[in-house]
Structure 1
C-alpha cells in the first residue's frame, strides 16, 4: 500500500487538522505507513497524532516563500520514500508546489474541504483531489481527478449525549460559567469571517428576548476572533456569548449543549455538523441545500428572525441517539481507506 506524507500549515485546533488527525490515525491503526509534516510549529493536535503512532515533523516554515523549509520538505519526502504527498490547505499546496515534493514518482493528492460554494484553491498541479462535494473542484472533476470522500467524524463523540449534568460540571470546573438551567447553544467554527460571527451574536440576542436563559458558546480560533469578540461585547447583553477559543476536546461541549449551530460554508457535511449529529444534538445549519440527515434544520443565517425561529423549533426537539447508519460512511477508517485506494489508483496511471 502507498506510503503517504500529509502536509499541513499547522496543527492548531480546526477542521483541517482534525480531519488529518482522524485519517492519519486510522491509516496508522490499519498498519499502513503514514507521517505528518507541519509547516509551522505544531499545535495541540500534534499530541494525539504522536500518541496514535504517527510521526510529526516540524518544517519551520517562517514566511510565504521559504526556500530553506522547501528544501527540508523535499528531503523529508525523499528520506521517507513516500509514494504520495497529501496537502490539506492553501499553504501546504504552495509548499508542495514550490518544493517539488510531489514531483517525480510521488503522487500529489490534495484535500479540498471548502464548502460547495466556498472559495477554491489553486489545485491545477494536483494528481487527484479528495472532496466531499460535487463542485469541490470543477477542473478536477472534469479531468477525472476528483475522488468523492466525505469528512470523517470522531466516533468517541457518539457517547456525548448521555450525561449533560456531569459535562456541565466539568466545564464549570474548567472555568466556564454555566448554570444547570441554562439553555446552551454551541457553535464550533473558525472565526475567519467576522460577519458570520456577528450574525450569530445578533441571532442569539434575538432569541434571548424570547428565552432569557439562552447562552451561546463559540469554540474555535481564527483571524477574525478578536474583532468578533469586541463586537459581541459591545452589541449583546453581558454573559450572553462566551468565547472559548480553540478547544481540543469537544465532547463535553456537545454533551452540555441543547442545540448546535453550524454557520460555515461546509453546511450539513461539515465536521461540526456531523459531530453534532453524532452527539445526538438538534442542529441548525446555514445553507440552502437539503440536509442529508434527518433532524437537521437548514436556515438562512442572514435572516436573523428565520434563524431564531429555526433555533426555537430545534430546542423543542429531544436529543436522540446518534444515527449510526447515516454516519457510517464518515467513519475515519472508511474515509482513510477510500483516500488510500484513490492514491493507489492514481499511482497506477501514467504520469507526465
Structure 2
C-alpha cells in the first residue's frame, strides 16, 4: 500500500483541480491510500471529494503573509509521512519546498503559469522535485525549455469521465426551454478570454435573439465582464452561475462550449464538453489543439479573433445536425484517447517507482 498526498492551492474549478479529482477518486483503494491537502478554504469540490471517500484537509490560507497554513502543511506531512507527494501548481510547490516538507518521492504538475514569466525561483523549485508529470506534449515541451530532462519528465494525457447515465438538463433562470445556450467554464480570469468573447456574443445577439451566454465559475475578471456586458446591452443574456459542483446538467442544457483562451488553459473545459457530446469552439493554442480536432469535434480560431469566434459559432447554430455530429465525434475521441483508466495507470506506475 502506497500513501499519496496531493497538495494544491485551492479546489476551485480549474484544470489542475479537475485532474487531481480524477486521480484521487480513480486510484485503486487496495493499492493507494490517498489524501488531499488544500492550502486555501472550503469549496464545493472539497465536499465532493469527501463524499467520494477521499480525505481532504483544508488549511485555510486567505492572506498573502499568513504563515499558519504553511506550518500546518509541514506538520501534516510530518505526521502522514507519505510515500509520494504530488504537488499541483507553483504556489503549492513553493509551500512544500520552502517549508521543508519531505516525502520519498516528490512529483509536480501544472507548475507553469500562462500569465506570469518564469523566474529564477521557479527554475530553482523545479530542480528540487523528483519528477514532473506533464499533461500533454505542449506542456512537456515548456518544461524541457526550462531544463527539465526527459528522464525526470512523464507525459500523460488529461482525462475526464464520460457520463453513462442519463443526465437531466439544468434549468437556467432567465432562459426558456426554446432558447439556445453557449457555455463557458471558468475560472473567470483575464487570460481565459471571456471578456473578449462578449464582443463575439454581441455580434451573435444581432442575429439570434434566442441565444444566451452562460458562464460557470468565478474569478477576478467577473466584475469587469459583468460591467462590459451591461455597457453594451447584453447583460440580460449573459448569466453568471458561480462555482458549481456538477457541470454535467449545464453541459446537457448547452448547445456548445466556448473556450476562448488568450494564452493557455481551457483543456479541461474542452474535454468536459466533448465527454458530454457538445461541440467546442476554442482558441488555436498548442494545448487545445491536442484536444480539439478542427472541423471534427469543433472549431479552432485564432486567439482574440472575435469575428472568427462568432462566425464559427454561427455555423453550428445554423446546423443542428453538424452540432450533433461534432458532439458525438468529441465523445468518441474522449473515450479513445483521454480515459481515466489510462491516466490512473500512468500515474500509478510513477507513484510505485516503475
Distance 1:237 1:325 in 2: 35
How many pairs were matched up? Answer: 333
Q: Give yes or no for contact 1:37–1:59 (8 Å, CA) kept in 2.
A: yes
Matched residue of 2:174: which SS?
Answer: coil
Shift of 1:80: 1.6
Match of 1:259 among 244, 256, 260: 256
Cα RMSD over matched residues?
2.7
Distance 1:154 1:236, change over 3 A: farther
Match of 1:221 among 208, 215, 218: 218
Q: Give yes or no for contact 2:191–2:264 (8 Å, CA) kept in 1.
A: no
* Residue in 1 that maps onto 2:32: 32
* Residue in 1 that maps onto 2:297: 295
Distance 1:244 1:67, change over 3 A: closer
| TM-score with structure 2 setting the length | 0.84
| TM-score with structure 1 setting the length | 0.85
Distance 1:331 1:312, change over 3 A: same
Matches within 5 A, 1:1-352: 2-29=2-29, 31-102=31-102, 105-112=103-110, 122=122, 123-134=126-137, 135-138=141-144, 139=146, 141-156=148-163, 166-167=168-169, 170-172=170-172, 176-193=173-190, 196-264=193-261, 265-266=263-264, 270-289=267-286, 290=289, 292=291, 293=293, 294-315=296-317, 316=319, 317-319=322-324, 320-321=327-328, 323-324=331-332, 326-345=334-353
Shift of 1:336: 2.3
Distance 1:307 1:113, change over 3 A: farther
Distance 1:90 1:22, change over 3 A: same
Distance 2:20 2:285 in 1: 28
Shift of 1:11: 2.1
Distance 1:233 1:195 in 2: 20
Matched residue of 1:129: which SS?
Answer: strand
Distance 1:279 1:30, change over 3 A: farther
List alignment gaps of at least 5 residues for structure 1.
Answer: none
Distance 1:222 1:120, change over 3 A: farther
Q: Give yes or no for contact 2:258–2:280 (8 Å, CA) kept in 1.
A: yes
Distance 1:185 1:219 in 2: 11
